[in-house]
Homo-oligomer: A and B are copies of this chain.
Amino acid sequence: MPEFLYNKKLYYNPVEFAMGRIGGTWKMPILWRLKDKTLRYGELKKDIPHITHKMLTSQLRELEEEDFINRKVFPVVPPKVEYSITERGRRSIQIIESIRAYGLELMDEFKVEHKK
């Protein structure tokens, strides 16, 4: 496999590159929430259990910077900011869905207790 640089970081393969864009604990949950609706910052915060202010803002920044989501600021007081998915973000949903399906299979194999 080839290795290559992107934004001064070294990647060893395409999988690592993909996970660098939409991986980590929070990016997929965020993209998933925006799949088919626009949400305000506070709504995302409320919808995603356990995510902290710091992680939500930083992950939103990165997703926006790489054009997976749009950020729309309304010049009102108090502030109102809406996040929506982009075409690039929409394409990521398919992969997220297949990883999710695989995860459910594994959970079944590993007999993980969970609610439907």
Q: Which residues of A contact B (CB under 8 A)?
A: 1-6, 12-19, 21, 23, 25, 28-29, 49-50, 66, 88, 91-92, 95-96, 98-107, 109-110, 112-116
- How far is A15 from B28 in the complex, measured between Cα atoms in Å? 8
Min CB distance A13 to B, Å, is 6
**Chain B residue with minimal CB distance to A7?**
B110
Interchain CB contact under 8 A, A6 and B96: no
Name the B residues within 8 Å of A99 (CB-CB). Answer: 14-15, 18-19, 95, 99
Residue of A2, A109, A114 with most chain B CB atoms under a 10 A cut-off: A114
Interchain CB contact under 8 A, A15 and B114: no
**Given A14-B103, A25-B12, do A2 and B115 touch, yes or no (CB 8 Å)?**
yes
